[in-house]
């Protein structure tokens, strides 16, 4: 039987072949195949120095950051071998970079090479002689957001959670048979949607590749059309629970062999409307034309009086943030009314 691999993804994945190993009779170094436990309670906070901004990171040490000894096979052997911690920083959608390597037992770090107005995601990874371990948090959770920081200025990014994963099935599906592929994918979508309690339209298959047979798909947000359904993050948590507790999740489809969570959180830059002097404009709700006009006013009026907890409340219109669309927002909108958006064309694409 062939293995069928299903990928929950917002991006394409490719299979990586396993390279053959050359057998030798010489002495070789021992390989540590057990990675250290991740850090917990990672938090990033903006701190102000005398002249510059810095970001202070704190975390709880890896559970393996304590060298002790135990008996094994009549011998005393060491356990727990964290060599230190590597601190990584990613700015918006940029490349992740290593900013510090710290020793074992260290649970804090100050990043003093940050840019005013920039946004960053941090990761602290304990490492041993052969492995390092990423922070283990649910994307979009309080723990995940705690490692994201905006260094002053107005927010020009949004936090985007990408729910990704890999499901491997034991199946002999023939990818050259379009009818068989359609039957399989339709049934897969139906069963997964039923298991997660979401509408099938939120599961979108984007690609099927030959290899181990890789099928990529995404789970859409569903906030607007399905407000009472689980979010993608909640759906991921439920999927992980069912995979762990249920052996026959896709019993009528094919045996499920494995699930790997590959989810991530990224910062996506958002271009803020500005006037000719570079001042932010908050009342250009429609993103139409090149000025704040009556169309924006009518849209604002439709949302006036709503507050957090009310049906239809949208923080977009709470431009003087206090949890309610009220007269503070009206006066702020009035200041923007009639202003020309200097970068309208670039925002509209």
pLDDT average, residue stretch 119-133:
92
pLDDT in tens, 265-311: 776 666 778 888 878 898 999 999 999 999 999 999 999 999 988 88
Residue 14 has pLDDT above 60, yes or no: no
pLDDT in tens, 65-106: 876 555 656 666 555 679 999 999 998 777 899 999 998 889
- pTM assigned to the model: 0.54
Residue 187 has pLDDT above 60, yes or no: yes
Q: Which tokens go with 190?
A: 């139906």
Predicted confidence at residue 251, as pLDDT, reads: 77
Four-residue CA torsion sign, 112, 115, 118, 121: negative
Q: Which tokens go with 72?
A: 């094994």
Residue 25 has pLDDT above 50, yes or no: no
Predicted confidence at residue 145, as pLDDT, reads: 86
Predicted confidence at residue 84, as pLDDT, reads: 92
Superfamily of domain 40-155: Immunoglobulins (2.60.40.10)
Architecture of domain 271-349: Orthogonal Bundle (1.10)
Residue 224 has pLDDT above 50, yes or no: yes
CA–chain centroid gap for 58, Å, is 21
Residue 335 has pLDDT above 60, yes or no: yes
Strand bridging mode 84-91 / 203-209: unpaired
CA distances (Å), origin 88, targets 98, 122, 124, 129, 135 = 5, 6, 6, 18, 11
Q: Residue 173 phi/psi, 5° resolution? A: -60, 130
Arithmetic mean of pLDDT over the chain: 80
Angle at 308 between CA 219 and CA 326, to 5 degrees: 130
pLDDT average, residue stretch 177-205:
91
State what percent of residues in the chain have pLDDT above 70. Answer: 78
CATH 1.10.1330.10-classified regions of the chain: 271-349
pLDDT average, residue stretch 205-212:
71
């Amino acid at each position: 039987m062939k293995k069928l691999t299903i990928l929950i993804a917002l991006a394409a994945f490719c299979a990586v072949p396993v390279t053959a190993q050359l057998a030798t009779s010489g002495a070789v170094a021992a390989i540590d195949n057990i990675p250290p436990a991740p850090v917990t309670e990672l938090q990033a906070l903006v701190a102000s120095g005398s002249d510059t901004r810095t970001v202070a990171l704190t975390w709880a040490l890896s559970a393996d950051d304590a060298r002790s000894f135990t008996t094994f096979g009549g011998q005393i052997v060491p356990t727990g071998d964290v060599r230190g911690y590597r601190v990584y920083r990613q700015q918006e959608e940029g490349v992740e970079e290593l900013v510090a390597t710290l020793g074992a037992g260290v649970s804090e770090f100050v990043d003093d090479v940050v840019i005013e107005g920039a946004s960053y995601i941090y990761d602290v990874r304990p490492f041993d002689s052969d492995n390092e371990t990423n922070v283990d948090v649910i994307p979009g959770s309080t723990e995940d957001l705690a490692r994201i920081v905006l260094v002053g200025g107005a927010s020009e990014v949004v936090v985007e959670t990408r729910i990704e994963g890999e499901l491997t099935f034991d199946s002999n599906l023939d990818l050259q048979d379009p009818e068989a592929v359609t039957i399989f994918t339709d049934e897969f979508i139906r069963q997964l949607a039923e298991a997660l309690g979401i509408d099938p339209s939120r599961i979108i298959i984007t690609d099927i590749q030959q290899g181990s047979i890789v099928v990529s798909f995404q789970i859409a947000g569903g906030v607007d059309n399905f407000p009472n359904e689980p979010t993608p993050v909640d759906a991921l948590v439920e999927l992980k629970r069912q995979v762990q507790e249920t052996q026959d999740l896709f019993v009528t489809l094919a045996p499920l062999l494995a699930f790997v969570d590959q989810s991530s959180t990224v910062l996506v830059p958002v271009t803020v409307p500005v006037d000719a002097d570079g001042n932010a404009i908050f009342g250009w709700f429609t993103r139409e034309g090149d000025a704040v006009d009556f169309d924006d006013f009518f849209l604002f009026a439709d949302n006036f009086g709503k507050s957090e907890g009310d049906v239809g409340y949208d923080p977009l219109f709470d431009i003087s943030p206090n949890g309610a669309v009220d007269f503070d927002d009206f006066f702020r909108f009035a200041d923007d009314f009639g202003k020309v958006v200097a970068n309208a064309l670039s925002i509209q694409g």
